[in-house]
Chain A
Amino acid sequence: MAVRRPEQRAGERGVSAATRRQALFGGLCLCCLPTLGRAAESFSMDEVAPGIFVRRGPDAEASPENNDAIANIGFIVGRDGVLVTESGGSLADGQWLRAEIGKRTDKPIKYVMLTHVHPDHVFGAAAFKADNPTFVGHAMLRGALDARGEFYRKRLVDILGEERAGTVVYPTMEVKDGAEIDLGDRTLRLTAHGTAHTNCDLSMLDSGSGLLFPADLLFVGRIPSLDGSLIGWLKEIERLKDMGATDAVPGHGPTRVKLAPSLGDLARYLTTLRDETRKAVAADTPIERAVTTVAQGEKDKWALFDTYNGRNVTQAYQELEWE
């Protein structure tokens, strides 16, 4: 185009960026690979209930060092096979989980849950393709992956490189309202939620352990990230409360928590975000000021607060200014 210098053409810049990354990360990787391997192995799986293994994701952002292994991922060993509760944040993370499963059982991997569209929850799925499982997702997940999958993949490739990033995997079983999965000795009751954390959140209740797997509808310790609807999320919290579970495996945070107080903390943050954003809108406080004032009382209560709160306010403001 008229105002673009020739040397700034996208293709060429892409190449030079890739070269730069290779120079930086590729060079580093050669010497750091063993360290990286150890770092991955230092992750451990908690057996949160008999036959249910969960790895805690650290409260961090995706980085070349952590393989985007930042979510709580794990699996359930049932009588008839294995269900993967969350696949991981990258192909590398998914492969690590696949190996952990292999250490504990020879049973076939029958189901892999894709709990919502975010990269730290879906890019591990590619590591399970060879097992030919059923990939389970919310009915809205396909459209969300259409809109965002490739964008997320490119960003992940920028951070991890092509080999470790993984590909976009689509659900082969789509849940519209609810569904049940039978593993022989236990059933898993799936719920496709209304727009909340995202527009495609899928939760799961295990009849064997009584544990609820709300995925990212529940953040514990790490600040929730809002990417769907603030009002909708508060509504879905009420639904989660009524599911009859006392304990849960959150999408981020400790691997097993008491459901009621954890949902309480989450609801407190989201309610504060809602009320203070509404006030800002009503008082004509501009968005650029609101991001520094809203929900500041929550600052010391969450990891990564400074990284996400402003973004959450931006999201909330856009939603609430049209109320």
Chain B
Amino acid sequence: MKRLLLALSLTLSAAALAPVPVRAGATDSDEERAARWTEIKKTIFGDRAVEANDAAVKIDAPARALDASLVPIGLTLADKDNVKGLYFIIDDNPSPYAAHFTFGPAADPAEIKMRVRVNNYTNVHAVVETKDGKLIESAKFVKASGGCSAPMGMSDEEAMKGMGDMRMKFAGGAQGGQPVEATLMVRHPNFSGMQMNQVTRDYTPARYVDKLDVTHGDQLVFSLAGDISIASNPVINFGIKPEGKGPIKVAATDNQGGRWEHTFQLPAASN
């Protein structure tokens, strides 16, 4: 899997040289979209069967994005105790494979939220991998354009400020064995490689968080393999099982060798 992600990521430089025109893809037919998804599926999952079932994973996404460079996505998993991993794919993005979560024993994977870039009118797909190795997909259509190539701020320098800073907020929490809802915020521009600098006649090189590992004590909560489709300053909402001990540790790396680690304390049980 890791090898495959690398292969997809390596194609980024080529994508950067050929930005997709705004609104291309808006007029694709359903058949074209289906063919594209079949092809993506084959690239990511090989010959493994992927069963369609919208009930297994519900995708919350705006039908029309207000801001294509920050599209909030919510994924609700019906059978959270039988989830090994979760894939999120934005079919018509230049690098469609947006995120892959692998959940550990300290995860409560009932709901995951994140913010992504959407470059086109596109189907987005969530694929759940169950503990017994089954793949289940669901889809939603999102209207947005230019999210990957849209300049994010007005200067790259500004966007790099505080890179690697992190915060974590907790809600609900640690009472009567209820899972803790956590929000992880990471300062990082997540340059897509498609944002052009006119002076140098070049693109700001892709620089994005490619891995986030969240652990609770000695147990994994989740490991996220990310790509350029994650919006700048990534924010991830997830659930933690309360029974673990020790601090929450986050280790992040980016594709240019950046490494950051932060430790957070779960709020103490109030009962």
Which 3 A-B residue pairs are closest in the complex by CB-CB distance? A1-B11, A288-B72, A10-B18
A168→B198 CA distance, assembly (Å)? 10
How many Å lie between the Cα of A147 and that of B41 in the bound state? Answer: 35
Considering residues B15, B25, B94, B198, which has the most beta carbons from chain A within 10 angstroms of its beta carbon? B198
- Chain A interface size range: 35 or more
Q: Which of A8, A11, A168, A200 is most buried by chain B, counting CB atoms within 10 A of its CB?
A: A8
Residues of A contacting B74 in the complex (Cβ-Cβ under 8 angstroms): 286, 288
Answer whether residue A104 sits at the interface, using C-beta atoms and an 8 A cutoff. no
Decide yes or no whether B176 CB sits under 8 A from chain A.
no
Question: Which secondary structure dominates chain A's binding surface?
Answer: helix
| A314 in contact with B70 (CB, 8 Å) | yes
Verify A200–B15 contact, CB threshold 8 A.
no
Please count the residue pairs between chain A and chain B whose beta carbons lie under 8 angstroms apart in the complex.
Answer: 115
A11 smallest CB distance to B (angstroms) = 7
Residue numbers of A with Cβ under 8 A of B are 1-5, 8-11, 13-14, 17, 20, 117, 140, 143-151, 154-155, 158, 168, 198-200, 284, 286-288, 291, 310-311, 314-315, 318, 321-322
Q: Which of B39, B40, B154, B237 sits near A198, CB closer than 8 Å? A: B154
**Do B198 and A158 have beta carbons less than 8 Å apart?**
no
A284 to B167 Cα, complex, angstroms: 13
Query: Which one, A17, A117, A318, contacts B23 given CB within 8 A?
Result: A17
Task: Output the least CB separation between A147 and chain B (Å).
Answer: 5
Also in contact, A286 and B11, with CB within 8 A (given A151-B149, A318-B70, A321-B185): no
Q: Which residues of B contact A314 (CB under 8 A)?
A: 66-67, 70
Whether A150 pairs with B21 at a CB distance below 8 angstroms is no
Query: Are A13 and B151 in contact (CB-based, < 8 A)?
Result: no
Complex Cα distance, B153 from A117, in Å, reads 12
Contact B171 A155 (CB under 8 A): no
**A14-B21, A287-B72 are known contacts; what are 4 more A-B pairs with Cβ within 8 Å?**
A10-B21, A10-B24, A143-B155, A155-B22
CA distance A284 to B36 in the complex (A): 37
The CA-CA distance from A287 to B11 in the complex, in Å, is 32
By a CB distance below 8 angstroms, the chain B residues around A286 are 72, 74, 113, 237
On chain A, the residues within 8 Å of B35 by CB distance are: 5
If the complex has contacts A198-B154, A314-B67, are A146 and B43 also in contact, measured as CB distance less than 8 A? no
Q: Which residues of chain B have C-beta atoms less than 8 A from A147's C-beta?
A: 151, 153-156, 195, 197-198
State how many angstroms separate the Cβ of B129 from the closest Cβ of chain A: 19
Is B199 positioned at the interface, with any CB of A under 8 Å from its CB?
Answer: yes
Q: Are B185 and A1 in contact (CB under 8 A)?
A: no
Instruction: State which of A8, A150, A291 has its C-beta within 8 Å of the C-beta of B198.
Output: A150
B142 interface residue (CB < 8 Å to A): no
A105 vs B113: C-alpha distance when bound (angstroms): 60
Q: Is the beta-carbon distance between B24 and A17 smaller than 8 angstroms?
A: yes
Task: Point out the residues of chain B lying under 8 angstroms from A5, CB to CB.
Answer: 35-36, 39
State the CA gap A199–B153 with chains docked (Å): 9
Q: Is B187 an interface residue, CB under 8 A from the partner?
A: yes
Assembled-state Cα–Cα distance A179/B171 (Å): 51
- Please tell me if the beta carbons of B7 and A200 are within 8 angstroms of each other in the complex: no
A143 to B: closest C-beta gap in Å:
5
Say whether B115 faces chain A, with CB atoms less than 8 Å apart: yes
18 contacts between A and B (CB under 8 A): A1-B11, A1-B15, A3-B8, A3-B97, A5-B36, A9-B18, A10-B18, A10-B24, A143-B155, A144-B155, A146-B198, A147-B151, A150-B196, A151-B150, A154-B21, A199-B154, A284-B171, A314-B66
Instruction: Please judge, given known A-B contacts A2-B43, A150-B196, whether A200 and B96 are in contact too, CB under 8 Å.
Output: no
Is B123's beta carbon under 8 Å from chain A? no
Q: Considering the chains assembled together, what is the distance between the CA atoms of A286 and B66 in angstroms?
A: 15
Chain B: interface residue total (CB-CB under 8 A): 56
Nearest chain B residue, comparing its CB with the CB of A1: B11
Q: Is B233 an interface residue (CB 8 A)?
A: yes
CA distance A14 to B62 in the complex (A): 26
Q: State which of B39, B115, B151 has its C-beta within 8 Å of the C-beta of A3.
A: B39
Interchain CB contact under 8 A, A13 and B198: no
Given contacts A1-B11, A168-B198, A288-B62, contact A13 B24 (CB under 8 A): yes
Given A144-B154, A284-B171, A17 and B21 contact (CB-CB distance below 8 Å):
yes
| Residue B105 at the chain A interface, CB threshold 8 Å | no
Question: Is A10 a contact of B20 with CB atoms below 8 Å?
Answer: yes
Residues from chain B with Cβ under 8 Å of A158 in the complex = 21-23
| B19: Cβ under 8 A from any A Cβ | yes
Complex interface: chain B residues within 8 A of A20 (CB): 27
Q: Which residues of the other chain, A, contact B259 by a CB distance below 8 angstroms?
A: none
Q: In the docked arrangement, what's the CA distance between A33 and B25, Å?
A: 30
Contact residues in A for B22 (Cβ distance below 8 Å)? 154-155, 158
Closest to A158 in B: B22
A-contact 0/1 string along B227-243, CB 8 Å cutoff: 00000010101000000
Selected contact of A322 from candidates B36, B70, B187, CB within 8 Å: B187
Residues on the A chain within 8 Å of B198, using CB: 145-147, 149-150, 168
Task: Point out the residues of chain A lying under 8 angstroms from B25, CB to CB.
Answer: 8, 13
Residues 22-69 of B contacting A (Cβ, < 8 Å): 22-25, 27, 35-36, 39-40, 43, 60, 62, 66-67
Per-residue 0/1 for B69-96: is the Cβ within 8 Å of any A Cβ (1 yes, 0 no)? 0101010000000000000000000111
Q: Determine if B14 is an interface residue (Cβ-Cβ < 8 Å).
A: yes
